[in-house]
Amino acid sequence: MSRTDTTSSRRGVYARRATAIGGLVTLVGTLVLSGPSAYAAPPTPPDAATARTYLSQLTVKAEGSSDGYSRDKFPHWSTQNGACNTREVVLKRDGKDVEQDSSCAAVKGSWFSPYDGATWHAASDVDIDHMVPLSEAWKSGANAWTTSRREGFANDLTRAQLLAVTDNVNQAKGDKDPAEWLPPTNSYHCTYARMWVSVKHSYGLSVDSAEKSALSSILNRC
């Protein structure tokens, strides 16, 4: 999991002026939409059948120790191009009408969080979640990786590993696996499981028995 690197002031008390407009409800600070169709998304994960196959191929073993773990061992957010680091690239990719300043910081736009169905209009309200959290990866095999490989994992834009979501929902997830935490939006569970399995399969990470059982149950309902 990742939270915003820059500590931002929390939202405080919103003046919640709600106006219904053609099925949309506008809140100061938040726009609740009927769905995320107007928004971009991370790379599409494999379908459920493929994800079930991938899950069957993962090594099942007890979760390892967190001894020696540090977020510093997964360097992030790395520079991607010019002044833009991975966080800013994901904010631009996952947002709508995103404008960036000369340092590539997002200064305008909106972000739909598929985890809870909320939409935010300030980048400070959005975290970039690591689908498979860094600590979880460490305990599933990444402790044996090189720093370079861990950096690639923490900044992976080619797989469904990074996603812009509501900050406090991301923080509630922490480093929990799907046996311990799932997004509040039930309809997203299938996509979430497909993403999780695809990342673990791509990197050869293990799953524990409870984690595999939870993923199997979700994927069998997809």
Tell me the pLDDT tens digit for each residue of 110-149.
999 999 999 999 999 999 999 999 999 999 999 999 999 9
In a domain, 9, yes or no: no
In a domain, 30, yes or no: yes
HSE of 92 in the Cβ direction (CA atoms, 13 Å)?
Answer: 15
- Report the C-alpha gap between 194 and 199 in whole angstroms: 9
Provide mean pLDDT across the span 103-116.
96
In a domain, 6, yes or no: no
In a domain, 13, yes or no: no
Dihedral angle of Cα 133, 62, 54, 165, to the nearest 10 degrees: -20
Instruction: Please determine, for residue 175, whether its predicted confidence score (pLDDT) is greater than 50.
Output: yes
Q: Which residues make beta-bridge pairs with 99? A: 108
Identify the DSSP state of 126. E
**Number of other CB atoms surrounding residue 208 within 10 Å:** 17
In a domain, 5, yes or no: no
Instruction: Please determine, for residue 10, whether its predicted confidence score (pLDDT) is greater than 80.
Output: no
Instruction: Please determine, for residue 89, whether its predicted confidence score (pLDDT) is greater than 90.
Output: yes
Q: What are 25's two structure tokens? A: 């409800």
In a domain, 12, yes or no: no
**Number of other CB atoms surrounding residue 102 within 10 Å:** 7
**Number of other CB atoms surrounding residue 31 within 10 Å:** 17
Burial 61-97 (b: 16+ CB within 10 A, else e): eebbeeeebeeebbebbeebeeebbbbbbbbbbbbbe
- For 24, the domain range is 19-220
Read off the pTM.
0.82
In a domain, 117, yes or no: yes
Percent of the chain past pLDDT 90, that is, above it, reads: 80
Residue 112 host element (H or E): strand 106-113
In a domain, 137, yes or no: yes
Domain count within the chain:
1
**Number of other CB atoms surrounding residue 209 within 10 Å:** 12
pLDDT digits (tens, 9 = 90+) for 202-211: 999 999 999 9
